[in-house]
Structure 1
Amino acid sequence: MSAASQTGAEPGMPAWVARLRDELHREDRTWVDALRPAQGARQSAVLALFGEGPAGPEVLLVERALTLRSHPGQIAFPGGGADPEDVDLTDTALREAYEECGVLREGVEVLGLLPPAHVRVSGFDVTTVVAWWRTPHAAAPGDPAEVASVLRVPVADLVDPARRATAVHPLGYRGPAFAVADHLVWGLTAHLLDAVLDLAGWSRPWDAAREVEIPDRYLSDRRATSLARDDGGPDVH
């Protein structure tokens, strides 16, 4: 019996995709305790899009433009606020991924959703739509004023213990971080990545006592700075 058959994968579906899909639908799953639960705020969604790359599974991330008022220069999942025309939050995530980096929804298979997390910096309740990029293609910034670059980061890099650390904000925030592609992924995006890597069975032990300071180029968001001073919660990013 093939590995795909043993995991309940459909024909052409990698075993890791089937595992992630099944874990997302487990009712007894313990989710990310560090995130603040939704508070009935304005809805938004991000797309955590995973596909097969030359080095195995990889995830799509975007580098936000330095000119943005919120989170300039930071690494994040593509996404944004829900529009009245969106059918649901999955539609929001897919629309934003197309607008930001040209991802065609026809080649994306949604696997499941993470529970929404409240982000005080933006005032949004953010739902993470986890998906498999069944038909990957070249992706590039749709609007340079919003997205500076598009990254496809191998999962092997994300789970490398040498690239893992605890990010320390000068005003008190502490949380998981990934040093990849000459960037530091931290804050809400890192918490969400950490959760999905665990769900897929990719996580490897790493030294949480190893600390890294958040580079200055990620600290120009004044709203994030004021909220970090407030309580240091994960949603400073």
Structure 2
Amino acid sequence: MRNDFGIDHPGSNTELNPEQAPRWLRQLVSEVSDAREHPDVRRVDACMTNREGPDRSAAVLMLFSGADHLQAYPPEDAAVLLTHRSPAMRSHSGQIAFPGGRVDPTDLNPVDAALREAWEETGLDRTTVTPVAEMDPVHIRASGYPVHPVLGHWHTPGEVGIASPAEVADVFPAYLSDLVDPRNRLMVGWSGWKGPAFTINDYLVWGFTAGLLSALLYQGGWSRPWDRETTLDLQETLAKSRNNEPRYSDPGNRVRFLR
């Protein structure tokens, strides 16, 4: 299997190696199984899900980069890899997401699926990644889809980009220093639902991805206090972003959030 970024190696590098996590990731790795119970993960709701098609499993890769060092806190360049889904996609169009997608019958396990999907979308070389932990599946309530979040350390960062323009419109690192900055954190709401969000590179990260990120920052010991009391209208906030999410940008679909 090849794309413009090189060859993938399906079925390889699919075992978890938590002992190889850098020092600053070890607290998160040791507690990642509990992250599913964080309130921000439990906020995953019908507001952000796809109702189409049969139930199916998916896997996402939460890929953290940043060199190992002697300290237990992240280095200045620590980041997590995110994608901007193409606004032309049928589901979750325009949203910011972790690389990932459906688990295929040929995948050995969710780690294999997450790495394959990351290669298909961004050209990620799976040999540069150390899989270190896997969360219990998070079920998307409206669809029943179980999503398997896989935590990896990008020990040797290489070239990534838009490997599948039909699926991905942008690929970028979200630096932990920006994610934990209270100025980049907010609560958004829509049609009775509310949840955490982030503003990064003029994008709005919300929904499933933001819920997982919020839980990971907390479990990693990196989270800082931020304003959880003020809830902003999701559609109005999206209109100010670069997301271009058709479902929530169309004035005809707008339903204001009621506190």
Q: TM-score range by the shorter chain?
A: 0.7 to 0.9
One-letter code aligned to 2:61: L
Q: Secondary structure at the match of 1:106?
A: helix
- Alpha-carbon distance in structure 1 between the residues aligned to 2:165 and 2:181: 31
Q: 1:29 to 1:99 in 2, by over 3 A?
A: closer
In 2, distance between residues paired with 1:113 and 1:77? 14
> How many Å separate the matches in 1 of 2:179 and 2:36?
21
CA distance in 2, matches of 1:180, 1:173: 22
How far apart, in 2, do the equivalents of 1:10 and 1:116 lie? Answer: 22
* Residue in structure 2 matched with residue 200 of structure 1 by the alignment: 220
Offset at residue 56 of structure 1 (A)? 2.4
What one-letter code is carried by the residue in structure 2 that aligns with 1:197? Answer: L
CA contact (8 A) 1:103 1:139 kept: yes
Paired residues of 1:35 and 1:118 also in contact (CA < 8 A): no
Say if 1:29 and 1:166 are closer, same or farther in 2 by CA, change over 3 A: closer
Which of 55, 63, 71 is the equivalent residue of 1:49?
63
Of residues 220, 224, 233, the one that matches 1:213 is 233
Give the corresponding residue for 2:200. Answer: 180
Give, as a single letter, the amino acid of the residue that structure 2 aligns with 1:198. Answer: Y
Aligned residues: 211
Q: Which runs of 5+ in 1 are unaligned?
A: 1-8, 223-228, 233-237
1:23 aligns with 2:31: yes
- Deviation, 1:212, is 2.8
Q: Give secondary structure in 2 for the equivalent of 1:42.
A: coil
For 1:72-110, what per-residue CA distance to the aligned partner results, in whole angstroms no more than 9, with x for missing partners? 111000100110000001111010001000111111111
Return closer, same or farther for 1:75/1:29 CA change in 2, 3 Å cut-off.
closer
Aligned CA-pair RMSD:
2.7
The equivalent of 1:60 in structure 2 is: 81
Per-residue CA deviations over 1:117-165 (Å, capped at 9, x if unaligned) read 1124554211100111111112101111110010101001001011111
**Equivalent position amino acid for 1:32 in 2:** H
User: Is the 8 Å Cα contact of residues 101 and 140 (structure 1) preserved in structure 2?
Assistant: yes
Which residues of structure 2 form unaligned runs of 5+?
A: 1-17, 46-54, 68-74, 249-254
Q: Percent identity over the alignment?
A: 42
